[in-house]
Amino acid sequence: MVDLTLASASPRRKELLQQIGVCARALPVDLDESVLPGEHPREFVARLAREKAEAGFQQAGDVRPALGSDTAVVLNGRIMGKPVDEAQALDMLLSLSGRVHQVMTGVSVVDASKTLTEVVVTDVEFDTISEQQARQYWASGEPCDKAGGYGIQGLGAVFVRRITGSYSAVVGLPLHETAKLLLQFEVPVWQPAERPVDN
């Protein structure tokens, strides 16, 4: 039985939900993800998570809650999106090199009666990255669709010296906070892994 609508096309978020025993139906939503004038990164990820969850709930057209999430890599208050080309990816990686940045992930759950939203902030410290390493990493293909130009759950892990906060939030969904939100919507966690998954 499907417990939840996941308003996302991200396979990582679906896998993270499966990790804690939540069976979700993925239903991608198409939203304008532009930052509003004067919007703080924390407000930005909270708003997008909420708007995605609301859109997912409306599209699904049933009584199941919907979950939306958004992740931003933030350096000195500036949101770093997904690189559009090698030059931008190198610029991002070399900017992050040897420094601490924040990964902010908003998660929101919506049903017909309420909306609850949490934002989790994790500090990520990178080791020094050479231009050659950045070019090699870009050639792997991994940075293309990743906020900040790296994936901590993939090859990009070699750059990460330490994190302070939630690892799963950096991947795309803070599992501790997500589970607490879902329980307020009576969505069970820790269900058997053999439960069928509705795609």
pLDDT tens for each residue of 100-127? 999 999 999 999 999 999 999 999 999 9
Q: How far apart are CA 105 and CA 110, in angstroms?
A: 17
Residue 36's Cα: distance from chain center in Å?
19
**CA proximity to 78, closest of 108, 35, 113:** 35
pLDDT tens for each residue of 138-157? 999 999 989 999 999 999 99
Residue 70's Cα: distance from chain center in Å?
5
pLDDT at 126: 98
Determine if the pTM surpasses 0.75: yes
pLDDT at 45: 97
% residues pLDDT > 90 (the chain): 93
pLDDT tens for each residue of 35-72? 999 999 999 999 999 999 999 999 999 999 999 999 99
Q: Is 70 among the residues known to form the active site?
A: yes
With respect to CATH, is domain 4-184 assigned 3.90.950.10?
yes
Q: Domain residues of the chain, as ranges?
A: 4-184
pLDDT at 196: 47
Active-site option among 70, 123, 127, 145:
70
Residue 197 reports pLDDT greater than 50: no
Residue 194 reports pLDDT greater than 60: no
Residue 78 reports pLDDT greater than 80: yes
**β-bridge partners, 80:** 73
